[in-house]
Structure 1
Amino acid sequence: MKRIVNARGKDVFITFVRYFLAIVFVMFFIFPYYWTITISLKTRAQALDPSTFIFKPTLENYIYVFTAWNLGKYLFNSIIVSISTVFLSIILSLPAAYSLARFNFKGKETVAFWMLSLRMLPAMCVVIPLYVIFSLVNLLDTHIVLIIAYLTFNVPFSVWLLRDFISSIPLEIEEAALIDGCSRFSALMRVMLPLLSPGLAVTAIFCFIQSWNEFALALFLTGTEAKTLPPALTFFMTSVGVKWGELAAISSIVTIPVIIFAWLTQKYLIRGLTFGAVRGAH
């Protein structure tokens, strides 16, 4: 009887420790976002005093960044560039990922590693060559230049993600479709694509976050017409100081589309993260 009581007490203690660590872990990541929102709702004088916890919230910082700095234009640019990059990344990477997953050819792993190595390249290493190339064809400060630049990093990463998801689908399912008269393309579109929806969602989320948050390429390859939200953060870091209220307001706005996009695709995201678990268990 005493052993049973001790075992139950031990289980209760372990459960308590797990929940406590989980709460601490979550609070560690939520607190910076909470602090940013708090500063964005303060006046300029209150934002300079971090010890001010009790204050009357105000939206003057949000109104200021939208009216004085034309933030709506940069928000529109970010949405157009990010969605276009995600769409084109999926279209371009899916055939390449399918080929690497289903076909055997000489140097396949070398090609796969070479594509991944492109993703390892820092953006600052290619920003000057890209600037020179796009200036020669008069594409600087356009949506197209950012979409092309982002694709050079997103497509290799998408290929690697989708390759693993395609490999997780049993080959017998595709072979059955081929026996029933489907071509390779038809089997991919009608059979494989619905099964790949979790993997496509995960890939889309990663591409969207990468495109939405990209700073260096957007800063150097755009001017006033195609500038996105991340480079706009530099407007509030001036020679006379940092405008913390306005900076916090635009930082809060930048995170909202990513949160909404992840929330809309959370069902597929959870399925995608555990997509290969069953296959790995065998």
Structure 2
Amino acid sequence: MKRILLLGVTGQVGQELQHTLAAVGDVICVGRDQVNFEQPDSIHQIIEELHPQLVINSAAYTAVDKAESEPDAAIAVNGTAPGMLAIAAEQVGAGLIHISTDYVFDGRRSSPYQEIDATNPLGAYGRSKLAGEEAIRAACPLHLILRTAWVYGARGHGNFVKTMLRLGAEREEIRVVADQIGSPTWSRHLAEAIADVAPHLSAETAGTYHYTNSGVASWYDFAVAIFEEARSLGFPLKVDRVVPITTAEYPTPASRPAFSVLSLQKTTDLLGTHPPHWRQGLRQMLVDLRSI
């Protein structure tokens, strides 16, 4: 059993990882009260003190639009801190698993992005996450960077599913962008994949991987599915019309990739299993949400 240091324990992935990693090792959960990623000097101290064999970083600055007005904060958390984590992990001989994002790509393709495809982030958030990837690769050879996309969960901070449920209980009509395509990913499935991949981390398997739920959807498709599944489970909903709109009709401070579907073949080959379909994850998340 490995000693595992888990960072970012209050987020929607971090909360799930606390459970999924229990079968993998002795998990030490560290929150912002012990390590503040905006003051990353504390990172070396905690790793030297705990001397983990594996560090898993699920902490991140995820406010995509806010990052446009405070890029330094995004870089500190998503770029500088992961680099310092990598240096500290390498110094104690630990491996590092780090969660990254589809936003490192520009979304101009029409086929799934492979791990080796050129990156070209469109905004400050994507640039900060790419900086974190590059810093990790430079400092810690025994790393696994896992890019994911469109993550939602029953626990942690707000997400698209929770926002749709709130709006669906308040409004009869909701307008949702239909020209951005990706793969919705349940945080528990992502956490289970990280727990599955952790024992496989070695010099031979180290590198960059992609993990999302399988299948593709637009935000509009996702919203329609949320309301269908939620209504079947008895969630109180007022909405009766979901209207597809274009990205141009819903301007945001940050540009988002129009197509950010990630190839899952490399991860599937490593784990020997294909990720569940996003619709399956959605229904399971809603059942979970009802029980909270």
Please report the TM-score for the alignment, with normalisation by the length of structure 2: 0.22
More helix by share: 1
Structure showing greater Rg = 1
Give the structure with the larger strand fraction. Answer: 2
The two structures have a TM-score, normalised by structure 1, of 0.22
